[in-house]
Amino acid sequence: DAGVTQSPTHLIKTRGQQVTLRCSPKSGHDTVSWYQQALGQGPQFIFQYYEEEERQRGNFPDRFSGHQFPNYSSELNVNALLLGDSALYLCASSLAAAAQNFGPGTRLTVT
Amino acid sequence: GESVGLHLPTLSVQEGDNSIINCAYSNSASDYFIWYKQESGKGPQFIIDIRSNMDKRQGQRVTVLLNKTVKHLSLQIAATQPGDSAVYFCAEETSGSRLTFGEGTQLTVNP
């Protein structure tokens, strides 16, 4: 039974470009959350998707957007990349009140 | 505001000793807490969780203690092994399943 998977593993983009990160939740999970983790810091909540809608959002600008598909997979899009967007982007999935399971993350470097 | 913090940024122990990692939280309304382990280059891995109607919960070699009076959480690892070396985060679930993480404690186990 595969856990949470994310793609790509690593990504290098130039300032001003746009990026799309992908996440497949653990089998049976219907809720997907995205987090940004800067080097040496704890993960910061970006937003959460449930039933294909954004259910909650953290303190991130509108440049960060997302989508959830009918099969519960999700995408995170970031427009107009800034150097400060360089981080590990984590996807977590869950079902109901159970603990969130995290994927391995996508390491984004903006140059 | 809502925040979760850790008392010590680093902890070094000898193999076979017991480890105790502490965490303070500020939101007295939070009712669900999780400990995650994160190894270098990987996503956070669930260790153990506890709900606010409990004071203590035990897993395999790990115990979580919750003191709601002083808003304090701790993780105890028995017979610490080199494979336990990692960064440990406590996370607080707030307003509908979003997680707020602390800064993390780097645990180093010396052989």
Calculate Rg over the CA atoms of chain A.
13
pLDDT tens digit sequence for A78-106: 999 999 999 999 999 999 878 899 999 99
DSSP B53: T
* Interface mutation vs chain A, best among B51, B90, B97, most A CBs within 10 Å: B97
The mean pLDDT of chain A is 95
Nearest CA in chain A to B98: A45
pLDDT tens digit sequence for B42-98: 999 999 999 999 999 999 999 999 999 999 999 999 999 999 999 999 999 877 678
Residues in B touching A94 (Cβ below 8 Å): 97
Q: How many CB atoms neighbour CB B15 within 10 A?
A: 13
3-state secondary structure of A26: coil
pLDDT tens digit sequence for A54-75: 999 999 999 999 999 999 999 9
Closest CA to A81 of A7, A34, A12: A12
> How far is A28 from chain B, CA to nearest CA, in Å?
17
The verdict on a CB contact (< 8 Å) between B89 and A42 is: yes
Q: Residue B24 has which token pair? A: 């303070």
Calculate Rg over the CA atoms of chain B.
13
